[in-house]
Chains A and B, each alone.
Chain A
Amino acid sequence: MTDLTTQYLILSAILFSIGLAGVLRRKNLLMLFFATEIMLNATNVAFAAISVHLGDLSGQMFALFIIAVAASEVAVGLGLLILIYKKYGTLDLDNLSIMKG
């Protein structure tokens, strides 16, 4: 079996960069959510790949943890998004700067 770890890690890096670019550039909260999900999954890929590479299961366990946490985060986060949308009528971050110092 050929070791594809390097390729997996490149994939993970590309995914993470896409996610990061999304986080930095997007102004819509929902899109930010998606971008962070992509970044989380990019790390999951990296965890799984390294776990296989080292023959250590704890990496894959960690990936499962992240999936679980991400799922609950989405559940709570989306609920909050809906509330924010109901309250302010927008999800555009430029209009949501009420925490200005």
Chain B
Amino acid sequence: MESYVYIALFAPLVSSLFAALFAQKPKVQLVGIATSILIGAALVASVILLLDIEETGKAVSVNLMDWIVVGDLDTKFGFTVDQVTVIMMTVVTLISTVVHVYSNYYMESDKSFNRFFSYLSAFVFSMMILVMSDNFLGLFIGWEGVGVCSWLLIGFWYHKKDETRDVNPSISPSWAANEAFIMNRIADLGMLVGIFLIYWNLGTLKYTEVFAHIGDLSHAMLVGIGIALFIGAMGKSAQFPLHTWLADAMEGPTPVSALIHAATMVTAGVYLVIRANPLYSQIPEVGYGIAVLGTFVAIFAASMALVNRDLKRVIAYSTLSQLGYMFAAAGLGAYWVALFHLAAHAAFKALLFIGAGNVMHAMHDELDMFKMGGLKKVMGWTFLYMGIGSLALSGIYPFAGFFSKDTILEVAFNEHTYGIWFVLWLTAGLTAFYSFRQVFLVFFGDERYHEIGAHPHEAKPYALWAMAPLAIAAVTVGFFKEDFVEFVTKFLPEYEMSEHTEHMVVILTIITTLVALTGIVVAYLKYAKGLKRDLEFEQNNKIYKLLYNQYYIPVIYDRVFAKPYKELSDIAWKEIDMQVVDASVDGIAKFVEKSGDASRKAQNGNLSSYLNWMAAGLVFITVIAAIAVAVQ
């Protein structure tokens, strides 16, 4: 089995390096095909591992080589494939394979076709390290690695220029890339602190050893570690207040958004919390805090999605919102539920994004949904896929979201955290509304695209075929819930609903489905027949403007952090460094020069005055000597 671990891990690396060979050459179709096959090989290896672990129930571990060995720190490149890892691997490689195949279509006329595939495969490699590593430092490699790949891919169209926020809320791809990288770095500092705490208290960074001795630590220390690691998770999973980068990351090509900013990288934070479940189950108060934050983000992001007109940003906010759901579940101790929602969400969210990619292609990169409409006629398949995705996202039976999201609501109910339950329930309604607002705006109603002179067309057949696995997953994953539970609870703690909750399940399910259906119906009534814009409302309603401008948070960050930092830096350089530090150094030099200049006048060339000075000096020394003698 070890060889499959290596294939799963290194096939993406080989793929990336192969594509990198052609990075500066014009498009080579082989690159797209070869990378897709190699990522597919990783998928096959992951599935084989999945089946094997299913059968044997044993984790597969490999040790590659030593990495950092200093003092008592002994870090190896070690990889373990257990139940959680193999689920993550399968999800990551499945979505990656689909996205690689799809990118052959999406990027077909891009000049940097080869470079794109190199970055994309490098991302998969980093993500595999992240999920497969058997220690925290290895996780951190992947953690930073996906950050860099995300930076490269968001800024893929680096040549675009900076715009103002009114024209483009993300300013420019390169700006958005830097924002994402720096925001993640802030969180990474928290993660590093967590790693330092673990090392100095337990002397090891290996998961198995750390979690075996986690009970030896004081409660305060556990809380410290838990919070520090969660800060790391907040950055990658774009939780408030580090969330702004995710929406701006939509500047990247759409397959990137599907793979990185929906299905895989942003769920790394959730993965970390699930992975560290022995830690978090010891500190339920931190878990509760995580759940509250997740719940807040769920409704916070959903509220922004309600009014946004940008096709991709709506999906991005919905990702943010669904991440909130996952954190709510993980925080409340239902780790497998979080993992299940993670897997299901990966499938239908990637499907939605790829569908959005088709629409963008059809609309010549126009993203404003108010300029679309009626695309159902020309893009039947895309409509079908996005419809499935939206139904799954809204949590309608029998789609995947129904099973995973409902369980999260049940967990919230079961924990007697009715506030969380209510907010998440409300969010479910909002989710259904904005998802179908999107579907109706894009595919139904009047054909507004004529105004911008677009000639929409359906995507190529192979791109549509590539989407099929995701659609199938979005429809069927829910039915494997029991198997999934049985499989992962060999590793993760089980989560038992109380008897009271069991009784309520049917009612809860009905209530939730009702609110989702209400959302869909409202969206239908408002948008399906055609777009009637109320410009006065859009311009004058304060709440609308607040939501549309993302609560003004990007502007606030700009004013409170970015600009003052820039100004402070300028002061540090021009005022302090030049005027104070350097000036005082030069001041000392000038003092020496000036005093030399002043004493130069004593050198008047007159022998007589020299002799006078000499005599005075003689007298002075004699007096000093006399005093010295007298004192002694």
Contacts and interface: CB of A to CB of B under 8 A. Distances in A.
A17 to B, nearest CB: 11
Contact of B611 (A24, A94, A99): A24
Interface string B599-632: 0111111111001100100000000000000000
Determine the main DSSP class of B at the interface with A. helix
A56 to B, nearest CB: 24
A101 B608 contact: no
Nearest to A29: B607
Contacts of B603: 99-101
B607 A93 contact: yes
A23 interface: yes
A24 B615 contact: yes
B606 A93 contact: yes
Contact of B615 (A23, A26, A27, A101): A23
Interface in B565-600: 600
Interface in B375-407: none
B604 A97 contact: yes
B606 A101 contact: no
Contact of B605 (A24, A27, A32, A99): A99
B611 A101 contact: no
B608 A93 contact: yes
Contact of B608 (A20, A94, A99): A94
A7 to B, nearest CB: 23
A96 interface: yes
Interface string A3-37: 00000000000000000100110110100100000
Nearest to A28: B608
Nearest to B618: A20
A22 to B, nearest CB: 10
A93 B8 CA distance: 99
Name, among A24, A96, A98, the residue most crowded by chain B CB atoms within 10 Å (CB to CB): A24
Contacts of A94: 606, 608
Contacts of B601: 101
Contact of B606 (A20, A23, A26, A97): A97
Contacts of B615: 20, 23-24
Contacts of A93: 606-608
B607 A101 contact: no
Contacts of A99: 603, 605
Interface string A59-101: 0000000000000000000000000000000000110111111
B614 to A, nearest CB: 9
Interface residues of B, number: 12
A29 to B, nearest CB: 8
B605 A97 contact: yes
A96 B612 CA distance: 16
Nearest to B606: A97
Nearest to B600: A101
Name, among B600, B602, B605, B615, the residue most crowded by chain A CB atoms within 10 Å (CB to CB): B605
Contacts of A98: 605
Name, among B601, B603, B611, B615, the residue most crowded by chain A CB atoms within 10 Å (CB to CB): B611
B607 A24 contact: no
A20 B608 CA distance: 12
Contacts of B607: 29, 32, 93, 96
B320 to A, nearest CB: 77
Contacts of B612: 24
A100 B615 CA distance: 20
A100 B604 CA distance: 4
A93 B610 CA distance: 11
B605 A100 contact: yes
A96 B605 CA distance: 8
B600 A23 contact: no
Nearest to A23: B611
B556 to A, nearest CB: 65
Nearest to A100: B605
Nearest to B604: A100
A33 B19 CA distance: 96
A98 B603 CA distance: 11
Name, among B602, B608, B612, the residue most crowded by chain A CB atoms within 10 Å (CB to CB): B608
B610 to A, nearest CB: 9
Interface string B471-511: 00000000000000000000000000000000000000000
Interface in B103-148: none
A100 B602 CA distance: 9
B90 to A, nearest CB: 88
Interface in B269-322: none
Nearest to A92: B608
Nearest to A95: B606
B598 to A, nearest CB: 11
Contacts of B611: 23-24, 32
Nearest to A98: B605
B607 to A, nearest CB: 5
A93 B612 CA distance: 13
A58 to B, nearest CB: 24
A30 to B, nearest CB: 13
A20 to B, nearest CB: 7
Nearest to B614: A23
Nearest to B603: A101
Nearest to A20: B615
A3 B607 CA distance: 41
Nearest to A97: B605
Nearest to B616: A24
Nearest to A101: B603
Contacts of A97: 604-606
A15 to B, nearest CB: 16
8 contacts: A23-B615, A29-B607, A32-B611, A93-B608, A96-B605, A97-B604, A99-B603, A101-B605
Interface of A: 20, 23-24, 26-27, 29, 32, 93-94, 96-101
Given A24-B612, A98-B605, 16 more contacts: A23-B615, A24-B608, A24-B611, A24-B615, A27-B608, A93-B608, A94-B606, A94-B608, A97-B605, A99-B605, A100-B603, A100-B606, A101-B600, A101-B601, A101-B604, A101-B605
Q: Sorted from nearest, which 7 A-B pairs have the closest CB atoms?
A: A101-B603, A97-B605, A100-B605, A99-B605, A93-B608, A97-B606, A101-B600
